[in-house]
Amino acid sequence: MTPFEYITVLISIILGLGITQIVTGVADIIHQWDRMRIYWPHAIWILLVFVMHIHEWWYTYDLKKHESWYLISFLFTIIYPIMLFVLARILFPFGAMDNETDFKVFYFNNYRKFFLMVTLLATLAILQDVLLEGYPIQDQILKLIILFSLATLAWKKITNETLHKVVALLLLFAFVGSLAVLDYTVE
């Protein structure tokens, strides 16, 4: 077994657990559809976090170019999938959804946690790109904008519904746009 294979096993397990959280949460919503009040910005976050898991799994293949691994670089690399798992978990109410669940109320009660996790993810992604991958900081503009925007919304406790809807749509378009523009070929 190569170091790459060894490292990616644990990363894949953690990402699989995060995907399981999302798929289970969506299945619970579908199963109890008559008691759910869906809020579309929250649904966009669910979609974004799901695609972020898939993207991270796909991106993990690039780690094959690293010939030697040190514990510190492995720990640094594994933090991102762990934080994605936590983000997937906090997207859904804890425990069974036996009563009516209003996801608009849930979203506004928890958006600061979502945004904090995404801010931490963006920070970690920037650090990985600059320190481990050698990308210039100028290539990190979109991640920096996301980081500062979400941090500001969370820190100032901004609950303007229109603004939250715009942010969800902009993040969706930015993420889909980056997937369309960037070359994610596996070789």
d(CA 1, CA 35): 49
Closest among 126, 122, 114 to 164, alpha carbons compared:
114
Q: At what angle do helices 103-127 and 40-60 cross, to 10 degrees?
A: 30
d(CA 42, CA 71): 36
The tens digit of pLDDT for each residue in 47-92 reads 999 999 998 998 888 888 877 888 888 888 899 999 999 999 999 9
* Mean pLDDT, residues 118-143 taken together: 86
Global confidence as pTM? 0.89
| Assigned domain for 152 exists | yes
Residue type, 98: D
- Tokens at residue 86, please? 């936590």
| Assigned domain for 187 exists | no
- The dihedral region occupied by 102, where left means phi > 0, alpha psi between -120 and 50, and beta the remainder, is beta
| Assigned domain for 147 exists | yes
| Assigned domain for 50 exists | yes
| Assigned domain for 186 exists | no
| Assigned domain for 142 exists | yes
Residue 25: which domain range?
3-181
The tens digit of pLDDT for each residue in 131-149 reads 877 888 888 888 888 889 9
| Assigned domain for 127 exists | yes
Which of 45-54, 151-160, 176-185 bottoms out in mean pLDDT, i.e. has the lowest?
176-185
| Assigned domain for 23 exists | yes
The residues pairing with 36 across neighbouring beta strands, listed in sequence order, are 101
The total number of structural domains in the chain stands at 1
